[in-house]
Structure 1
Amino acid sequence: TTDIEPVLLPPKSPNMNAYLERFKRGLKSECLNKMIFFGQHSLERALKEYVAHYHAERNHQGLDNQLIEPDAEVGRVAVKIECRERLGGLLKYYHRDAA
């Protein structure tokens, strides 16, 4: 278990937790509304892939367009740029090819 304590908010008050509301909006529009899930396992796999994309491959305006948890290869200077895809091409991430 984790030591995370949920904070209960009043009903219909999305402005009190704007960061979570933005994450939920992105999750719905970029992932959940574009897929059909066949059981809990496929939903959990999609959520895992989206969270990995969100933390390591997606730029965040609130962090000056930086990544939350960049990989070691981010920022390397190389010639070729490659595209990585998650969820069958639904989520895309461009990176420089390792030398």
Structure 2
Amino acid sequence: MALILDRDANFTAVFDEIFAAAGITVLKTPPRTPRANCYAERWIRTVRAECSDRMLIYGERHLRAVLDEYVGHYNGHGPHQCGRPGQRPPDQDEQVVVPMEGRIERRKVRGGAINEYRRAA
């Protein structure tokens, strides 16, 4: 397992030693490359804004359950501003035809913190 860190002064050698003792390799981003980790930082900002900042996490097991459900939602639903054709989510590579008429159903994710919408069959 590896942890990618930027070269911020907050991440001292002691910080690296703690992770090394746990068997985690610390990788530093190249110097003077603020965009080296931009995709990870954008995803972290998204998951915090849409998920973890809206609830109280009770421990690692709860956090993993919350993140597993959110990752499923993120990859399978909702538009993405990532340059993908038609703003489709990562799990939808094929063209999806959405009916324009009919009742819309809402499915609550994470106890209503997030909602997914789709046309009823």
TM-score bracket, shorter-length normalisation: 0.7 to 0.9
In structure 2, stretches of 5+ residues that fail to align are 9-32
User: What letter is aligned with 1:35?
Assistant: M
* Aligned-CA RMSD value: 2.5
What is aligned with 2:21?
none
Q: Normalization by structure 2: what TM-score?
A: 0.64
What is aligned with 1:66?
88
What is aligned with 2:73?
53
Deviations 1:67-99 (A, max 9, x none): 2113x9x5342511111111011111111112x
- Residues 85 and 92 of structure 1 are in contact (CA less than 8 Å); yes or no, is this contact kept in structure 2? yes
What is aligned with 1:25?
45
Q: Which structure is larger by alpha-carbon Rg, 1 or 2?
A: 2
Give the SS at the match of 1:44: helix
- Residues 9 and 16 of structure 1 are in contact (CA less than 8 Å); yes or no, is this contact kept in structure 2? no
Tell me how many residue pairs correspond in the alignment. Answer: 92
Aligned equivalents of 2:3 and 2:66: distance in 1? 26
Structure with higher RCO (Cα < 8 A, 6+ apart): 1
User: What letter is aligned with 1:34?
Assistant: R
Q: Equivalent pairs: percent with the same residue?
A: 32
Shift >6 Å, 4+ stretches: none
CA gap of 1:11–1:59, structure 2 versus 1, over 3 A, is same
Aligned equivalents of 1:44 and 1:7: distance in 2? 17
Give the SS at the match of 1:93: strand
Aligned equivalents of 2:61 and 2:4: distance in 1? 28
Worse-matched range after superposition: 57-66 or 84-93: 57-66
In structure 1, stretches of 5+ residues that fail to align are none
